[in-house]
């Protein structure tokens, strides 16, 4: 089960999903996009829902790149929580797997959600 997001960390929300700053970020700006309906694995989404999810992932990723001034945001899908969700992890000073070796911390900068939201262009 995924932890509830902090209300002041929500970047985007609609009836199908929400995007928020991670409660325990690996790096500054680490964001999670969660499918609201209980779906245990990505392959169980319909094509239409999968496309919808990935369009939002792409839009949030683009907003993160602009707001955080990074060239790369890694997309990480893990299904241990048995709930479809993506981790969007900005790359700053290290590349590849090393980016995921940072200790997770507590979210401290809630202003990042506003910065990312300001750069977000949702096309529905």
| Percent with pLDDT over 70 in the chain | 98
What tens digit of pLDDT does each residue of 39-61 get?
999 999 999 999 999 999 999 99
Record: fold of 7-93+106-118:
HIT family, subunit A (3.30.428)
Torsion angles phi and psi, residue 76, rounded to 5: -125, 125
Rounded-to-integer distance, Cα 42 and Cα 25, Å: 22
Query: What is d(CA 69, CA 49) in angstroms, rounded to the nearest whole number?
Result: 30
pTM as predicted: 0.90
Note the pLDDT of residue 95.
74
Residue 78: the pLDDT is 83
Q: Give the pLDDT score at 38.
A: 94
Contacting residues for 114 by C-beta, under 8 A, at least 6 apart: none
Q: Where are the beta strands (DSSP E) in 1-124?
A: 10-13, 17-21, 31-35, 73-77, 85-90
Burial group, residue 46, by CB count within 10 angstroms (0-12, 13-18, 19+):
exposed
Question: What are the boundaries of each domain within the chain?
Answer: 7-93+106-118
Mean pLDDT for all residues in the chain: 91
């Amino acid at each position: 089960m995924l932890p509830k997001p902090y209300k002041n960390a929500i970047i985007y929300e609609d009836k199908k999903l929400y995007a928020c700053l991670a409660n325990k970020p690996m790096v500054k700006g680490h964001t999670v996009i969660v499918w609201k309906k209980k779906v245990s694995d990505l392959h169980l989404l319909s094509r239409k829902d999968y496309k919808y999810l990935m369009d939002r992932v792409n839009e949030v990723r683009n907003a993160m790149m602009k707001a955080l001034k990074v060239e790369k945001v890694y997309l990480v899908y893990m299904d241990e929580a048995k709930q479809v969700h993506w981790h969007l992890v900005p790359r700053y000073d290290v590349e590849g797997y090393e980016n995921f070796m940072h200790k997770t911390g507590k979210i401290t900068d809630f202003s990042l959600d506003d910065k990312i939201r300001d750069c977000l262009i949702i096309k529905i």
